[in-house]
Amino acid sequence: EADIYQTPRYLVIGTGKKITLECSQTMGHDKMYWYQQDPGMELHLIHYSYGVNSTEKGDLSSESTVSRIRTEHFPLTLESARPSHTSQYLCASSEYSASQETQYFGPGTRLLVL
Amino acid sequence: QKEVEQNSGPLSVPEGAIASLNCTYSDRVSQSFFWYRQYSGKSPELIMSIYSNGDKEDGRFTAQLNKASQYVSLLIRDSQPSDSATYLCAVRTGGFKTIFGAGTRLFVKA
C-alpha cells in the first residue's frame, strides 16, 4: 500500500486567487499523476510526470501547472482560480514498470472557488 | 468508442447476492487490468489487479479476464451494503497509458 498525501483536504477560496495543491508520496515512485473529478463523474487526467524534471499535460485541458523538482513531491498550481475550477483533485503515484503498473491514490483535495 | 467502457448503472443487488460488474476495452495489446472501488466523496482504492487470462480470486472478489474478447469483469460474492460504491475499471494499454472507465455504481440493498 502506497503512502500518498494531499493537502489541503478542503479549500474554499475566492476568484482570482493563486493556489497550490500539495501532493507527496513516500514510496519513491517515479510516476505521479493529477486527476480532476467532478461528483459522480469520471476521472480526467490533467497532468503526469515520469520523474524529476519531467511533466506532461494529460487528456483534459487544464489551466493549472505542475512541477517535479523532487521525486516525492508533485504540486499543482492554479495561478488565478475561477468558479469553473471547483472540483475534486486527486493525486496518484505508481512505480514505473513497462508491463505492470498500479496507481495508488491520495485522499484528494476538494476545491470550491467562490 | 471509448477506450474503456463500463455500464454506468446503477446496478442494484440484494444483500448476499453476487454482483457482476463488466468492462470492455478497445486496445487489443493491453496488458494490465485493475478494479478500483470509490466511495462517494472519497478517492479510488485498488481492490484487484489481473494480468493473465482466467480468474483471480481474493476473498469475496473474483476478477475475470478474457483478452480475446477484450473483456474484464469483477464478481462480488455475498454482497454487503458496505460494498455499495462506484467501481472503476482501469486498463494499462499497449501504449503504457492507464485509462479509467467512467465507473459502475453498485447499490446493495439490505
Q: What confidence score (pLDDT) does residue A6 get?
A: 97
The reply to whether B61 touches chain A by the CB within 8 Å rule is: no
pLDDT at A99 over 70: no
How far B17 CA sits from the closest chain A CA (Å)? 25
**Omega within 30 of 0 (cis) for the link into A8:** yes
Query: Which residue is associated with the grid cell 487490468?
Result: B33
Sign of CA dihedral A49, A50, A53, A58: negative
Question: Looking at residue B33, what DSSP letter applies?
Answer: E
CB contact under 8 A, B32 and A101: yes
The reply to whether B98 touches chain A by the CB within 8 Å rule is: yes
Span A24-83, pLDDT tens digits: 999 999 999 999 999 888 899 999 998 999 999 987 777 899 999 999 999 999 999 999
CA-nearest residue of chain B to A33?
A: B98
For residue A31, the one-letter residue type is K
Query: pLDDT band at residue A102, thresholds of 50, 70 and 90?
Result: confident
What's the average pLDDT block by block, 10 residues per block, for chain B (110 residues)?
A: 87 97 93 93 92 94 96 97 96 83 95
CA angle B49, B50, B54 (to 5 degrees): 145
CB contact under 8 A, B102 and A99: no
CB contact under 8 A, B92 and A101: yes
